[in-house]
Amino acid sequence: MPLDRFPGSPTMSRRRRRALEMLADAGQRGLTDPLVLERFTPELLELVRDGLATSKRDTMTKRGRRVEVDRVRITDTGRMGIV
């Protein structure tokens, strides 16, 4: 992984670090909010590509209806980078 991609790197973008922090705050359940995921799409894709986050298609119930969502979670490597 290039130095600027590592979470603790001084050259890591603020948005990328913020995306990691949001994933850490989301805990075990991860993020599913489409508005948040849309706002940080490029950063989240980079985090998944670099192994700092995972993405999984999931089904949840919302207002009595089952809907498909993308659930994004931080990995242990990603968590180490923001400590």
Output the domain CATH number for residue 65. 1.10.10
What is the number of structural domains in the chain?
1
The alpha helices in the chain, defined as continuous H runs, are 14-26, 34-39, 41-49, 76-81
Tokens read off for 9 = 């790197």
Q: What is the pLDDT of residues 25-53, one digit of tens each?
A: 998 889 888 888 888 989 999 999 999 99
Q: What is the pLDDT of residues 6-18, one digit of tens each?
A: 555 556 789 999 9
Per-residue confidence (pLDDT) for residue 3, from 0 to 100: 42
| Range of the structural domain that residue 9 is part of | 3-81
Q: What is the mean pLDDT of residues 41-70?
A: 91
| CA pair distance 53, 27, nearest whole angstrom | 12
| CA pair distance 13, 29, nearest whole angstrom | 25
CB 79 within 8 Å of CB 24: yes
pTM score? 0.77
